[in-house]
């Protein structure tokens, strides 16, 4: 069982996934800071100083914090846009793959083609 576990861990895709999760977590912290510290204050100024996280409806003892939901939607849209821009930039930086030149036909095919063309020309 330990050998199987070691083989599983040593697979390239498991290590790649672990790296992606760690980088994703660090990237998430950057995006969260961007949203909370830069974008949402600007949105609040545009909307007259509204703080989304403070928006709530109270029903008796219960509070529905719909402002947090709005904040989560804005966070998602910003994260999706940032990821879109990163992928778009990476795709533009990649060179388009040029199709490979067709391989030259083998010598016997070339010879047979020449013979065929000569026979055609003789008949005409």
**CATH number of the domain residue 84 falls in:** 1.10.1200.120
53 contacts 63 by C-beta, under 8 angstroms: no
* pLDDT per residue of the chain (124 residues) written in tens, 0 to 9: 888 877 777 776 777 778 888 888 888 888 778 877 887 778 778 877 666 777 889 888 888 888 888 878 877 887 788 778 888 888 888 877 777 778 888 888 889 999 998 988 888 7
d(CA 72, CA 30): 15
Domain count, the chain: 1
31 Cβ contact list (under 8 Å, min separation 6): 75, 78, 79, 82
Residue range(s) defining the domain that contains residue 49: 2-123
- What is the per-residue pLDDT for 50? 63
- What is the per-residue pLDDT for 43? 74
Angle value at C-alpha 6, between 5 and 7, nearest 5 degrees: 90
* DSSP structure class, residue 105: P
d(CA 71, CA 84): 20
């Amino acid at each position: 069982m330990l050998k199987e576990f070691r083989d599983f861990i040593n697979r390239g895709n498991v290590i790649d996934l672990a790296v992606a999760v760690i980088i994703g977590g660090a990237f998430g912290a950057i995006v969260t800071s961007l949203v909370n510290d830069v974008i949402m204050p600007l949105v609040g100024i545009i909307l007259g100083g509204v703080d989304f996280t403070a928006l709530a409806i109270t029903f008796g003892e219960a509070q529905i914090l719909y402002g947090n939901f709005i904040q989560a939607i804005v966070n998602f849209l910003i994260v999706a846009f940032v990821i879109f821009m990163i992928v778009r930039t990476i795709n533009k930086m990649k060179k388009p793959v040029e199709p490979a030149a067709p391989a030259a036909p083998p010598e016997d095919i070339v010879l047979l083609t020449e013979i065929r063309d000569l026979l055609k020309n003789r008949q005409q």
